[in-house]
A and B are shown apart, each in its own frame.
Chain A
Amino acid sequence: MNRVSTLLLLIVIAAGAAIGFAFYYQHRAQAQLSAQLYQLDQLLAADNEGADRKNDGAVKGIEAAVVKNQNQPKEVSILTAAQNLNSRADSLTQTLRGLAAALRHSKGSNAAANPTLAQLGKTGEAEKLLGPTSAAHQGLQQQLTEYISAIQVLNPAAKTELSEPQFAGLSLVAALASLSQLESEVRAVELNTLQCLTPKVGAKTLRSHLVALYSAESSTVAPGQTYRAQLFLGSVLDLRYVPMQMRCNGQPVSVDSSSVGRVRFRASGKPGPSAWTGTIRFNANGRDTTFQVRVPYRVARR
């Protein structure tokens, strides 16, 4: 061998070693990134479970409000829309989780419960199962399109952003992460829409304000005697915006701006215990409601 060949050989060996190191570093980086992505994926999957329950709860909340408000037809249709949206999101979730399970159990990966780093980094399976031309990909795509249009009917103002499912060339862990990401986005969009529907159902609750009140045993006392009264806080419901009437023994009573009626009548001339009846009748959400209270008092002797 001459000197040129020796030199060349040395260069080749040096370059080979460098390439080897490059491969080693790249492999190590890949392993670390895959492990990290897998951990994030597991956390997001747990969050997705929580979002599933949370959204079920939001639908149940709408249902409870509609039932409590006596199933008004307009509200029942909102409830039906919410339930339909929830079941659409549920079936999308099933599809996405089914695809994830199929990926994990496919012959090439076979990475059921605790996949190894090698299995997670493997490419090819995702493309085979979920490539752009596969039936699974097209089914998913169609389901997502339908989902987005269902959302836009209910909430036209919402900007529905779901990521485009792309599985070509992805490693197993990247494909699994894409599926979890989609599920998370689907649930976020669902919750957003349910939160838009919630204020549209249910009886409007009456606002109330607090007032300090007192009630004396008698407003007249003799010198040297004890005056007795009670002081307390009352919560007065605001009836300014609903049709209402207050009566005292059948006679209308004037009501001031703070929704408190002023009862004033001449007491009977006969000493002894007596009573009057107060009635508050109001109409909230199309229903007539009447509250009555019987108030005893005493007419003193002369």
Chain B
Amino acid sequence: MKRSTLLLALCSVAAFVAAGVLLYRGQAQNAVVLDKIMALEARLATNNQQGVQAMANTVYGINVAVSKNQNQARDVAVLKASQLILGRTKSLTDTLHLFQQALRAAVHEAPAGPLHYPGAASQPGSITPQQLARQLDHYTAFIRVFVPEVPALTQPAPLATTWLYTDHAPVAAALASLTRLEAQVRRQATDALNNEAQKVGSGCCMCFDKIGAMAVAASNTVAPGAIYEAQLFLTQAATSLRPKMSAEGKALAVQPNGRGEIDILVPTLRPGQPDTLHAQWRGIVQVQTGQADTTFQVIAPYFIVKQPAQ
């Protein structure tokens, strides 16, 4: 072998070793960045979970405020809108979770839990990015009704080359892209719901229910020297409830003060009937508390007297 050939061989070996070292270090650096992506993904996923709870709480708060404010049509529209936002957001979030599960399945990972090979190249799953993009764009159009300035979710970020993830990106990075989308959706939905909450929240949530003693007389008129009876209790105004009432099976008109008026026309006594008759009526009050209907019942006795006390 000639000396020049030998020199060339030596140089190339040295270059290969140097390149190998550099490539190895680059690979290690990428592994570190991928680790950080996973760490941040975990934090964002936790925030996403808490966000779901917080959004449900906001809608519940709107519901309470609206019913405290006598269910006015304008307020009810706000409640309906907020429930719609919650529903649309949940369905989009479900799709993102399904996409993640499909990605995991495509590389034979478990549907949840830590990845065995986070650096493995991702494979196309059963949901295509195009299908996801369509749903994201629909959502953006929907949410812009409530928050006009939100950016599209299918636009790449300033430094990124794609809105989702590049083909064959490490599976951990691909999964993180979906968690990132979920966080973006969560932030937009939270903004939209907070906007809605402000429309009904003015002062109404802050007022405290008034507490007071209350007495209810069985009868407001008594005969001289007769027994007067009443119920005494501590009460908290429950005016927000709009109960449905009926007496003896007939629906009653409920006054704005929450009271149902009962008028019973007592028939004239037939001959031969005793002078004093025991009679009674049965009242039913139905309220909607949350989802369930609750029914209350009272039985009110009274007397029909031929020589009335009055």
Contact = CB atoms under 8 A, between A and B. Distances in A.
A117 interface: yes
A46 B187 contact: yes
A266 B306 contact: no
20 contacts: A30-B33, A35-B157, A43-B44, A47-B43, A47-B47, A174-B32, A181-B40, A184-B43, A210-B241, A216-B219, A218-B309, A221-B303, A227-B265, A231-B283, A233-B243, A233-B285, A235-B238, A236-B235, A261-B231, A280-B213
Contacts of B66: none
Contacts of A218: 219-221, 309-310
Interface size class of chain B, counting residues whose CB lies under 8 Å from the partner chain: 35 or more
A174 B16 CA distance: 29
Interface centre among B8, B166, B221, B307 (most CB of A within 10 A): B221
A220 interface: yes
Contacts of B169: 32
B33 A174 contact: yes
A180 B40 contact: yes
B46 A236 contact: no
Interface stretch (B123-131, B134-142, B175-183, B196-204): B175-183
A114 B158 CA distance: 9
B91 interface: no
A5 B2 CA distance: 9
A44 interface: yes
A8 B30 CA distance: 33
Secondary structure call for the A interface: mixed
Given A36-B160, A213-B298, A261-B232, A178 B221 contact: no
Interface string B96-135: 0000000000000000000000000000000000000000
A5 B295 CA distance: 99
A295 B218 CA distance: 12
Contacts of A27: 26
B226 interface: yes
B29 A223 contact: no
Interface centre among B12, B44, B161, B233 (most CB of A within 10 A): B233
Interface string B212-241: 111111111111111111111111111001
Given A213-B298, A230-B261, A301-B310, A266 B43 contact: no
A302 B235 CA distance: 35
A224 B30 contact: no
Interface size class of chain A, counting residues whose CB lies under 8 Å from the partner chain: 35 or more
Interface of B: 1-2, 4-5, 8-9, 12, 15-16, 19, 22-23, 26-27, 29-30, 32-34, 36-37, 39-41, 43-44, 46-47, 157-161, 165-166, 169-170, 173, 176-177, 180, 183-184, 187, 211-238, 241, 243, 245, 247, 252, 258-269, 281, 283-285, 287, 294, 296-298, 300-310
Given A216-B302, A220-B223, A248-B232, A229 B37 contact: no
A33 B266 contact: no
A159 interface: no
B173 A33 contact: yes
A202 to B, nearest CB: 13
A196 interface: no
Contacts of A265: 227-228
Contacts of B41: 40
Given A221-B266, A226-B265, A37 B33 contact: yes
B2 to A, nearest CB: 7
